[in-house]
Amino acid sequence: MSHWKETAEILDRLAELSGQGERAAVATVIGISGSAFRRPGAKFLIEARGATLGSISGGCLEADVRDVAAAVLETGRPALRHYNTGSDEDVVWGLGLGCNGMVDVFVQPATEGAWPALAGGLRCRLAGDAAVALATVVDDGEGLGAMMAVESGGATEGSLGDTELDRQVALLARSWLPAGRSQVHPVAGRRVFLEVLPPPFHLLICGAGEDARPLAAYASDAGFRVAVFDHRDALLDPAHYAAAVRLVSARADQADVVLPPAERSLAVVKTHSLTHDREWLRRLLAAGLPYVGVLGPRERTESLLRDVGAAGDPRVYGPVGLDIGADGPRQVAVAILAELLAFTAHREPIHLAERREPIHAV
């Protein structure tokens, strides 16, 4: 989800740079082993003037990648770097950071070649709700850096330079899109990085009180597509929300209110009104949302569920949020967002210190 947002932001910036006649390179994590800060698909845009966008690590690799990007912009040829973040300096590009991980980063021109050729269509696809796969040739041979986009519906754009390779990668992409995992695959004698971009989850915040504002801000920044619903127009002031947050004047019982696809939507009900919470709860559960958080004490939520004939419904999380001792709207928003992220990642929240396998292990 964060990769979708990051990619969309980089594409927007590339459109601006192209209009200004400026150059840039993009670095993409294509493989990790052991401990790593970012998963495959994480991106880092490096402009010729020095500005950057995105990240590929916690700050450990970016300085060297900037140097690599400068060389890529000079030669026009993509480059693959293998970074070792362990303590052994004998491995190629050893950094001696003690993180005990291996990270492969592919750096390629972003304002010429394959990226700008796909940028327009890819921006349109990322505005929709269909999964997209982005295939890139990453071995050191002819066609290095060639790219192709594959939609879940089967449509393709771009080429990897060979008709049979395109066909096989398209078939592979369609089979991998439901899994949502990005990795390098051997295909027809080539190494192809297949980046899978599942669309972001929608977050419906039902109730536009002051405590909705930090949740909308944090969730939007984390990659959710956020919509705030309320029948009180005075509360839906755009000045209190980021431009990406959709503000909808509506009551739960309005038939003309269209909700996003239920299977990719989560909701938090917090109108601070029993009547309106009850009606939003009724509608959201009837729509088939897999997660509905409800603000307030457990007894209140249980009473609302009895009222709508959904007592014990496992899709309802109330009180909403993780138990982190939160106090005040901002901290409560953090607790709610943490629970939303755990739910979408299918993770049982624990202290990372208690986790024995790598953090990004599936």
Q: Is the pLDDT of residue 98 over 60?
A: no
What is the mean pLDDT of the segment spanning 11-27? Answer: 95
Distance, in Å, from the CA atom of 224 to the CA atom of 199, rounded to the nearest integer, reads 9
Domain topology for 202-344 = Rossmann fold (3.40.50)
Q: Where are the domains of the chain?
A: 1-112, 114-199, 202-344
Residue 94 in this model has a pLDDT that exceeds 70: no
**Is the pLDDT score of 77 beyond 50?**
yes
| Residue range 51-62: mean pLDDT, rounded | 88
What percentage of the chain exceeds 90 in pLDDT? 78
CA dist 104 and 337 (Å) reads 30
pTM (2 d.p.): 0.88
Cα separations in angstroms, 74 against 10, 133, 170, 309? 21, 29, 32, 66
User: Of 58-62, 92-96, 293-297, which gets the smallest average pLDDT?
Assistant: 92-96
Say if residue 285's pLDDT is above 90. Answer: yes
- Using the structure block, give the residue that is written with the tokens 């039902």: 206
State the pLDDT at residue 87. Answer: 53
117, amino acid identity: A
pLDDT, average across residues 201-215:
97
Confidence of residue 354 (pLDDT cuts 50, 70, 90): confident
Q: What Å distances lie between residue 138 and 51, 77, 108, 122, 206, CA to CA?
A: 25, 11, 10, 20, 45
Structure tokens at 53: 């966008």
Residues 173-188 have pLDDT tens digits of: 999 998 778 999 999 9
Q: Whole-angstrom Cα distance, residue 208 to residue 223?
A: 20
- CB within 8 A of 289, min separation 6: which ones? 204, 262, 265, 266, 267, 315
Query: Looking at residues 64-89, what average pLDDT do you find?
Result: 87
Confidence of residue 231 (pLDDT cuts 50, 70, 90): very high
CA distance 91 to 103: 12
Predicted confidence (pLDDT) at residue 96 exceeds the cutoff of 60: no
**Cα dihedral sign, 98-99-104-108:** negative
- What does the pLDDT read at residue 359? 65
Confidence of residue 255 (pLDDT cuts 50, 70, 90): confident
Q: What is the pLDDT of residue 142?
A: 86
Question: What does the pLDDT read at residue 282?
Answer: 97
pLDDT value for 102:
84
Instruction: State the chain's mean pLDDT as an integer.
Output: 91
Other CB atoms within 10 Å distance of the CB of residue 238: 9
Tokens 């693959």 locate to 80
Torsion of CA 278, 282, 288, 290, to 10 degrees: 20
Of 40, 69, 52, give the one whose Cα is nearest residue 10. Answer: 52
Residue 206 has pLDDT above 90, yes or no: yes
Phi, psi of 218 (to 5 degrees): -65, -45
Question: Is residue 93 scored above 70 in pLDDT?
Answer: no
